Structure 1
Amino acid sequence: MTFKLDPKMTLGYVQLRVQSLENQKAFYKLLGFTIIQESATEIIFGSGSTTPVLILTAEEDVVPRPSRTTGLFHFAILVPSREDLAHVIGNLLEIGAPISGAGDHLYSEAFYLSDSEGNGIEIYRDLPRNEWQVELDGQVNTATEPIDFQGIMALYNPERAWIGFPTGTILGHIHLNVTNLDDAISHFYLEAVGLDLMTNFMDSAFFMSAGGYHHHIAANIWQGVGAPLPPKIATGLMSFSLILSSTDELNKLKQNLLAQNVSFSEVEGDLFVKDLNNNDMIFYTQA
């Protein structure tokens, strides 16, 4: 029987290596993230709760991630409703946040920007699942259509107090630049980790998930086929976490990784798996 990752899996947090902790701290506070914990080398942010969703880590001799390399395309912050999306975007426009694009993806409405070190950020809301366009083979149709900006912003209420991201905001998905969409990608994400391929977008991007979601992880070759990995000490993605619903599900994953010859390490019960960009995927259960 083909292994499938826990259908109740959700993403936890994303960890970024940064050059300037102070500059990035100011940027993300302005964006609506709230500080949960802070030290001289690391800041943990929440988004509408005290659950970590973003970790910024400063290290010595960090260099900017070179262009045309693998790594983070964007991390995506999911708000609970269209009204919440209007609330967030309306306030970001008020402060002149560097929003660089937007799109209707048929299953979501999304806005895009980048932080001061070039890390991509998506802020989006999902359409109800019964409105997604699902093919007979289970794949979910996607596109980038013009967003209904006027319809969204008609829901913006300037009288609603701005205290940051609304309650219920989570890390919705991670989108990566990779070297190739090949057998190695399929083996790692689909056979070993146990995700489902939800969309093969024009043979240039795979959108993968657990439990029928449109995607928890995407991988594209838009930096060029054969793009190299960045230096180990470059800015950008260090790790991201995936929360499983039970110890039993975590053990099932562990056994499948062993069966598929994918190495991992264990730290206090958490599984650390290196993805194909040499970032840590950290699997654990919610305490």
Structure 2
Amino acid sequence: MNPTTIDPRVRIGHVHLKVADLGRSIRFYRDVLGFEVTQRYGDSAAFLSAGGYHHHLGLNTWESLGGSPPPPGTTGLYHTAILFPDRAELGKALRRLGEAGIRLDGAADHGVSEALYLRDPDQNGVELYRDRPESEWPRQPDGSLAMVTRPLDLKKLLAEAAI
């Protein structure tokens, strides 16, 4: 391994978002996406997780209470990507989004993954996705990735959630 290359076991552990309204954000991440609140700090912060981990998401109003999203053309977080274990679970998430009236910004098949794109109540980008097995990833003749952006068949994805 190259001494300047990060260890392949490293993972991004959690995302901490500044939000304008903590209750509204908890309702989105808990009630729509299905995360569980693991801890709350009064009305200013909350931590949420999947499966009992200490937290995958942190939400706070410490610097953003009542604030507005950054205007277009500014730097910042493009989106938070939430990895689902399989296609059926991603389909269930799509169904929950529809039931909650959440509009998608887009949906794509990237060859390596299938993804749904949306915005949370503070207009932070959110990607819900599932990876294909690495053996199915499209590759160039030299072995490098050949990711694509194709339309994702949402009807088939929803049908898979019903299985």
Same fold? TM cut 0.5 = yes
Q: How many percent identity over aligned positions?
A: 35
1:54-107 per-position Cα deviation (integer Å, ceiling 9, x unaligned):
000112465432221111110111110111111221222122223221000111
Report the CA distance shift for 1:71/1:61 in structure 2 as closer, same or farther (over 3 A). Answer: closer
What's the counterpart of residue 12 of structure 1?
13
Matches within 5 A, 1:49-64: 49-60=52-63, 63-64=67-68
SS at match of 1:71: coil
Deviation at 1:139, TM superposition (A): 3.1
| Residue identity opposite 1:33 in structure 2 | F
Question: Are the counterparts in 2 of residues 75 and 121 from structure 1 also a CA contact under 8 Å?
Answer: yes
1:183-208 per-position Cα deviation (integer Å, ceiling 9, x unaligned):
xxxxxxxxxxxxxxxxxxxxxxxxxx
Report the CA distance shift for 1:138/1:15 in structure 2 as closer, same or farther (over 3 A). Answer: farther
**Residue segments in structure 1 that go unaligned for 5+ positions in a row:** 159-287
**Residue segments in structure 2 that go unaligned for 5+ positions in a row:** none
What's the counterpart of residue 43 of structure 1?
46
Report the CA distance shift for 1:35/1:61 in structure 2 as closer, same or farther (over 3 A). Answer: closer
What's the counterpart of residue 255 of structure 1?
none
Equivalent position to 1:94, from 77, 87, 99: 99
Between Structure 1 and Structure 2, the one with more strand by share is: 1
What's the counterpart of residue 3 of structure 1?
4
Deviation at 1:26, TM superposition (A): 1.7
SS at match of 2:105: strand
Q: Is 1:131 aligned to residue 136 of structure 2?
A: yes
Rounded to whole Å, the distance in 2 between the matches of 1:93 and 1:47 is 21
| Residue identity opposite 2:112 in structure 1 | Y
| Residue identity opposite 1:82 in structure 2 | R
SS at match of 1:11: coil
Q: How many residues align?
A: 158
Root mean square deviation of aligned Cα: 1.9
| Residue identity opposite 2:140 in structure 1 | E
The structure with the largest alpha-carbon Rg is 1
Deviation at 1:46, TM superposition (A): 0.5
Rounded to whole Å, the distance in 2 between the matches of 1:61 and 1:84 is 32
Question: Are the counterparts in 2 of residues 19 and 59 from structure 1 also a CA contact under 8 Å?
Answer: no
Equivalent position to 1:157, from 153, 158, 162: 162
1:203-250 per-position Cα deviation (integer Å, ceiling 9, x unaligned):
xxxxxxxxxxxxxxxxxxxxxxxxxxxxxxxxxxxxxxxxxxxxxxxx
Rounded to whole Å, the distance in 2 between the matches of 1:129 and 1:101 is 24
Question: Are the counterparts in 1 of residues 19 and 64 from structure 2 also a CA contact under 8 Å?
Answer: no
Q: Give the structure-1-normalised TM-score.
A: 0.51
Could you say which structure has the greater relative contact order, defined with CA pairs below 8 angstroms and 6 or more residues apart? 1
1:21-59 per-position Cα deviation (integer Å, ceiling 9, x unaligned):
122122222221110000121100002333311000112
SS at match of 2:150: coil
Equivalent position to 1:114, from 109, 119, 127: 119
Deviation at 1:20, TM superposition (A): 1.4
Q: Which runs of 4+ in 1 moved over 4 A?
A: none
Matches within 5 A, 1:190-205: none
Matches within 5 A, 1:168-183: none
Rounded to whole Å, the distance in 2 between the matches of 1:49 and 1:55 is 14
| Residue identity opposite 1:146 in structure 2 | P
Question: Are the counterparts in 2 of residues 111 and 122 from structure 1 also a CA contact under 8 Å?
Answer: yes
Q: Give the structure-2-normalised TM-score.
A: 0.87
SS at match of 2:122: coil
